[in-house]
Structure 1
Amino acid sequence: MSSLNKVMIIGRLGRDPELKYTQSGAPVCTLNVATDESYTDRDGNRVDRAEWHRVVVFQKAAENCAQYLTKGSLVFVEGSLQTRKWQDQQGQDR
């Protein structure tokens, strides 16, 4: 049995892309993408909700993102989902 790990996100950048380079010189760009949805609650009030996604782009695509995208840009991202876990200073998992 095979599995599928594919994610598609359409949203806007919350800040300018951050381009960095690994020790070997490979470009890596981090994007903060906001997606939003709205719904009507039980009382008939409209509720807007934003979800933030941290997206990491590599190689030439990373350089293109840094060159052509800015805060507020509408982006379509397709890739795989990877969850990371670390411990903060108090030893709590994040």
Structure 2
Amino acid sequence: MLMFMFMLLMFISGLSVFIMKRDHLLLMLLSLEFIVISLYLIFVFHLKMMNYEFFFSMIFLTMSVCEGVLGLSILVSIIRIHGNDNILTFSSLW
């Protein structure tokens, strides 16, 4: 039970960082990855407690890696166009 509470605290702290640091894209991506890691730990912990197979956890990891790569490619393209990752300086009318 203590382990589940720790994983839930990880998820809530990642979510709070995501909400508080919404002006920089890199910090948002890092907090999203932290949320994905905490969800993966909760998922594996639940599968282990219920004696299920871990095959679906590999699919979850594959999708989370694809999400991370997509976020990094968007970050690189935004930095190349605008020069920084500050979301407040973007203009949608250019």
TM-score, reference length from structure 1: 0.18
* Bigger helix fraction: 2
* Bigger strand fraction: 1
Q: Which has the higher contact order (CA 8 A, sep 6+)?
A: 1
TM-score, reference length from structure 2: 0.18
